[in-house]
Chain A
């Protein structure tokens, strides 16, 4: 089955770069522009992986992450943080909420692609 990836980022440019990075990868991309939209999309789409920014309007990435962990159907969905916030505190907070990856912006597309492929391959095995 084609894996479904939910991208939650308020930047049109970052969403475009993610789509470009995943061109040729056999996956379906769903997009949301803030945490609230992201939560609705996650509940509706049941994604296999979520790429999540931190600083966004309406609901930020950490709040969305905490809400995902409270949802029975989404509590274990792998999440990769993709954010310019790379302080020790932010990384520790995300780690405490059980993220599967943390990529600091600026990012190389091949790094993003490799991390996504690694997690999707791991999911497929389990």
Chain B
């Protein structure tokens, strides 16, 4: 993965097409990518300026003073790439929540994902790949109940009336919107990449491909007691 200068937002075009301005999380990712090969203290300062990202990196409370030093030590321990995946995760999480809210009126609540406890819920798994200056794959995993609720909400029908084809097609399109939005964010942050068409499989055991230099993170969301898991797998070129 090589970095390219991010494309500055064109306010005239944004206004002409009534589009939203670049989000803070995308601007931060762009800034991190721009200094990726630079000094650790530069990267640490950028991260320490963002409390949520710092909390996620330090996996706990942020010290009142010396956060940048603690962040720098953590970057030294882990390397820069996991930090970039963390920073990439935020636009993805935002895209997931926004898409469920806009298309289905479903409010997702982020939850901590327990080790191994999530495997029982899966009925459908969708996946899309991104290739280019960022390479990776995003998976959405959910049970039949949640998929049926989602299809019913999107299509405006009773959940019981939705066919298996409806469930698969709705999940595919939701995944396309989520990862398409995420891919656009990556492009705006300087990581130009292309998107594949979505694939949906049913009743498959989730096994992300083993990528020697890949980084895998999983995020959980709940709605009415039902669980959605979102995996991001990013591969960094040598």
B-contacting residues of A (Cβ < 8 Å)? 10-14, 16-17, 20, 55, 57, 83-92, 95, 101-108
Do the beta carbons of B19 and A91 come within 8 Å of each other?
yes
Cβ distance B2 to chain A, nearest Cβ, rounded Å: 17
Do the beta carbons of B155 and A84 come within 8 Å of each other?
no
Cβ distance A85 to chain B, nearest Cβ, rounded Å: 6
Q: Per DSSP, are chain B's interface residues mostly helix, strand or loop, or mixed?
A: helix
Cβ distance B21 to chain A, nearest Cβ, rounded Å: 11
Q: At the interface, yes or no: B111 with Cβ under 8 Å from chain A?
A: no
Task: Tell me the bound Cα distance from A12 to B166 in angstroms.
Answer: 9
Do the beta carbons of B155 and A91 come within 8 Å of each other?
no
Nearest A residue (CB) for B171 = A13
Known: A95-B13, A95-B16, A106-B177. A57 touches B184 (CB 8 A): no
Cβ distance A91 to chain B, nearest Cβ, rounded Å: 5
Q: Which of B154, B169, B177 contacts A105 (CB 8 A)?
A: B177
Q: Which of A14, A92, A104, A107 contacts B10 (CB 8 A)?
A: A92
Known: A84-B176, A95-B13, A106-B181. A89 touches B102 (CB 8 A): no
Task: Tell me the bound Cα distance from A102 to B18 in angstroms.
Answer: 8
Q: Which of A13, A85, A89, A107 contacts B7 (CB 8 A)?
A: A89
Do the beta carbons of A106 and B99 come within 8 Å of each other?
yes
Q: Which of A12, A85, A88 contacts B183 (CB 8 A)?
A: A85
Do the beta carbons of A101 and B181 come within 8 Å of each other?
no
Q: At the interface, yes or no: B134 with Cβ under 8 Å from chain A?
A: no
Q: At the interface, yes or no: B103 with Cβ under 8 Å from chain A?
A: yes
Do the beta carbons of A104 and B170 come within 8 Å of each other?
no
A-chain residues with CB within 8 Å of residue B98 when the two chains form the complex: 106
Known: A55-B197, A84-B181. A107 touches B173 (CB 8 A): no
Known: A106-B98, A108-B102. A86 touches B184 (CB 8 A): yes
Q: At the interface, yes or no: B230 with Cβ under 8 Å from chain A?
A: no
Do the beta carbons of A86 and B155 come within 8 Å of each other?
no
Do the beta carbons of B170 and A105 come within 8 Å of each other?
no
Known: A11-B173, A13-B154, A20-B156. A88 touches B102 (CB 8 A): no
Nearest A residue (CB) for B7 = A88
Do the beta carbons of A14 and B188 come within 8 Å of each other?
no
Task: Tell me the bound Cα distance from A16 to B170 in angstroms.
Answer: 11
Q: Which of B154, B169, B173, B180 contacts A83 (CB 8 A)?
A: B180
Task: Tell me the bound Cα distance from A9 to B180 in angstroms.
Answer: 15
Do the beta carbons of A86 and B181 come within 8 Å of each other?
yes
Task: Tell me the bound Cα distance from A14 to B180 in angstroms.
Answer: 14
B-chain residues with CB within 8 Å of residue A108 when the two chains form the complex: 102
